[in-house]
Amino acid sequence: MSDRMSTNLRLVGSVGPWLLAGAVFGLSGCSTDVSDDPSEEQSESVGSTEEALTSAPASMPNDGSCGFKVTSNYLSRRSGTGYLGELSLKNVSGPKAKSFEIFADLGGAGIRRRCLLADCTAVDGGYSFTEPLLVKLLGISQGATLPILYGSPDPYSSVTPYVISINGTKCDPVPPQITLTASSTLVTASGSLRLSAAASDNVAVRKVVFKRDGVDIGVDTTAPFTLDVAADATLNGRKAYTAVAYDPSGNSTTSAPVRVLTGIGNKFFGTAADTTADYSQLLTYFNQLTPGNAGKWGSVEATRNVMDWSKLDTAAAAFAECGDFDRAILWSKAALAAARTDADRSEVKSSLVLYEIGQPARVP
Ligand SMILES: [Ca+2]
């Protein structure tokens, strides 16, 4: 029956909406065939009346589309003032529908004015189609198909529709899955960094939004979901990239972050640590500036387990003698942070106090 209805629609696409409804549903006009009270249950329904009378009330199938199937037909040749498109919403195994929402990606085409047998509005990435008064009154019973017509000034390259909800129930509550990888996690030369997201969903992945430190930097709407990022010295430092996958119902999932270190034009030095304790020590002693040899291991720990930070203190005193109290304070604080005994700390502190008031520290 649905095929015949679709054929009818193509043939009578230029007639008025109520006449078209009559041609499709065999009605002489909605206002004369249905009750004025929309809350009253109607025995007649869109499509097969016999099935509506004999079918038991159906529960909502958990199949991602509520037991409904929406398909698309469109004409690639101009029809009248534009191009004709048709969606067919079939109730395969769902409950009688008195409301619905369909989302359709029209491949960039726009809808001219309104739709026939559905209300349609432009939304992000396509159009949303909702039930017309006729469906509110009569419903779509199991086995029945509702055709929806629309016209576009643009030719269609593709149309992809999804059932979003039936009778107010969201058909797909399951969010997508997504993992993100980067072509490199250490960038040392200008070029391009490719982000690749592997995303899947029980219905479909509509788009993947890429982010850098939480800020949108690009979108891909077709698989494979990738984004090429220009890598230059402005990105120097560590950045966290994430990707968010959306399904047609708006469910979303954010990937685990991928951290990329960019150091274009930088010089690196480093060492190795065997244990957490060693690593902690490295953070303490290497995460600071030191005045040449005075801060190196060979000077500080010339004898194993005997730390001598006095050379840092001496360096601070030398800067103070030259009148460079900023540097004197810097190295004095470094010596203070590294001092292991109260006696050492006390000695360094007494010098530091002098540097802070612009006085050199001299041995009496
Ligand atoms: Ca989903």
CA of 186 to the centre of ligand 1 (A): 34
Cα 115 to ligand 1 centroid, rounded to whole Å:
27
Q: Is the pLDDT of residue 257 over 70?
A: yes
C-alpha 201 – ligand 1 centre gap (Å): 5
* Residue 362 in domain: no
Read out DSSP for 102-162? EEEE-TT----S--BSSEEEEETTEEEEE--HHHHHH-B-TT-EEEEEEEESS--S--EEE
What pLDDT shows up at residue 31? Answer: 30
Compute the distance from residue 240 Cα to the ligand 1 centre, in Å.
26
CATH of residue 103: 2.60.40.1170
Whether residues 70 and 153 share a domain: the answer is yes
Question: What pLDDT score does 290 carry?
Answer: 53
Q: Which of 13-27, 151-165, 252-266, 314-328 has the lowest mean pLDDT?
A: 13-27
Dist. CA 156 → ligand 1 center (Å): 26
**Domains contained in the chain, number:** 3
Same domain, 12 and 90: yes
Plot region of 67 (φ>0 → left; ψ -120 to 50 → alpha; else → beta): left
The domain boundary residue, chosen from 170, 193, 211: 170
Q: If you measure from the C-alpha of residue 162 to the centroid of ligand 1, how many angstroms do you get, rounded to a whole number? A: 11
Domain for residue 271, yes or no?
A: no
pLDDT at 283: 62
39-43, 198-202, 315-319, range with the lowest pLDDT: 39-43
* 105 in any annotated domain: yes
* 197 and 322 within one domain: no
- Percent of the chain exceeding pLDDT 90 equals 50
Distance from the CA of 343 to the center of ligand 1, in angstroms?
Answer: 66
Q: Supply the mean pLDDT for the chain.
A: 80
Same domain for 203 and 161, yes or no, is no
C-alpha 41 to ligand 1 mean position (Å) = 33
Average pLDDT over residues 62-88: 91
CA 176 – ligand 1 centroid, Å? 5
Distance CA 300, CA 273 (A): 19
Mean pLDDT of 97-101: 97
Same domain, 139 and 11: yes
Quote the ligand 1 centre to 241 CA distance (angstroms): 23
Query: How far away, in angstroms, is 177 Cα from ligand 1 center?
Result: 9
- Same domain flag for 292 and 234: no
Helix (H) or strand (E) holding 71: strand 68-74
- 303 within domain boundaries: yes
Q: Is the Cβ–Cβ distance between 258 and 225 less than 8 Å?
A: no
Per-residue model confidence (pLDDT) at position 301? 64
pLDDT at 319 over 80: yes
110 and 29 in a common domain: yes
| 218 within some domain | yes
Shared domain for 350 and 291, answered yes or no, is: yes
Last residue of a domain, one of 122, 142, 170: 170
CATH of the domain at 196: 2.60.40.10
Distance 143 CA to ligand 1 centre (A): 25
Mean pLDDT of 346-355: 88
- For residue 175, the CA-to-ligand 1 centroid distance in Å is 5
* Residue 2: predicted pLDDT: 43
Q: Which range marks the domain in which residue 146 is found?
A: 2-170
Q: Does 322 or 211 have the greater pLDDT score? A: 211
Ligand 1 centre distance from Cα of residue 64 (Å): 7
The verdict on residue 116 lying in a domain is yes
- What is the rounded average pLDDT of the residues 308-315? 74
φ, ψ of residue 263 to 5 degrees: the values are -140, 75
Same domain flag for 291 and 349: yes
Specify if 29 maps to a domain: yes
The verdict on 102 and 250 lying in the same domain is no
Mean pLDDT of 45-51: 44
Condensed to tens digits (0 to 9), the pLDDT of residues 15-47 reads 344 344 333 333 333 332 333 333 434 434 444
Distances (CA, A) of 75 to 10, 13, 78, 113, 115: 9, 12, 7, 18, 16
| Residues 127, 163 within the same domain | yes
Q: Which of 10-24, 260-274, 319-333 reaches the highest mean pLDDT?
A: 319-333
Q: Do 22 and 163 fall into the same domain?
A: yes
Residue 209 lies in a domain: yes
Which one of 262, 291, 309 terminates a domain?
262
